Structure 1
């Protein structure tokens, strides 16, 4: 049996924004936590789908040239093979789910 993970406390302890920390694995999926600091993050693309759950704050995501805003409690699924970048102004805590 494992102990509960306080995601907000864990995020507060992260030493650097935009550097994710693996908090759990479920099957083949990784759950990674990171802090956003309003700075943009460059475009990337993955061969797998990526789930983005905003725990607090707001994520401004540029998905193939379209800005998608996801607020606290919101979830966005980036389909595999879709270019995406974080637009300026994104701030808060993000939980990333990927395989």
Structure 2
């Protein structure tokens, strides 16, 4: 078992929006990202993606609807549904590829 200081790891990443894999459970990747106020373009996956905001907030657009995911909240982006991160998002984000 490993203990992770998520904010410290995220703040130490060389660039925002470049994830690092913290570990895997079966075929599921658990990744960490540092958000930096800049938007991240629209994506569509063939798998569900859990977006857990550890600190800060993530401004998300899902299928044309804007929403704010706060620290301690998790959003599940369903497979096949377009989603994008909007400007103003900042902090640390854990991504779980389901």
Instruction: Decide: shared fold, TM above 0.5.
Output: yes
Deviates more, 1:45-54 or 1:6-15: 6-15
* TM-score (structure 2 length as normaliser): 0.96
Q: Residue 41 of structure 2 corresponds to which residue in structure 1?
A: 42
Instruction: After TM superposition, give the deviation of residue 9 of structure 1 in Å.
Output: 1.5
Number of matched residues?
A: 98
Unaligned runs of 5+ in 2: none
Whole-Å separation in 2 of the counterparts to 1:5 and 1:35: 15
Instruction: After TM superposition, give the deviation of residue 42 of structure 1 in Å.
Output: 0.6
* TM-score (structure 1 length as normaliser): 0.95
Whole-Å separation in 2 of the counterparts to 1:50 and 1:3: 23
Deviates more, 1:54-63 or 1:2-11: 2-11
Q: Residue 87 of structure 1 corresponds to which residue in structure 2?
A: 86
Q: Residue 9 of structure 2 corresponds to which residue in structure 1?
A: 10
Instruction: After TM superposition, give the deviation of residue 4 of structure 1 in Å.
Output: 1.3
Unaligned runs of 5+ in 1: none
Instruction: After TM superposition, give the deviation of residue 73 of structure 1 in Å.
Output: 0.3
Instruction: After TM superposition, give the deviation of residue 12 of structure 1 in Å.
Output: 1.5
Q: Residue 27 of structure 2 corresponds to which residue in structure 1?
A: 28
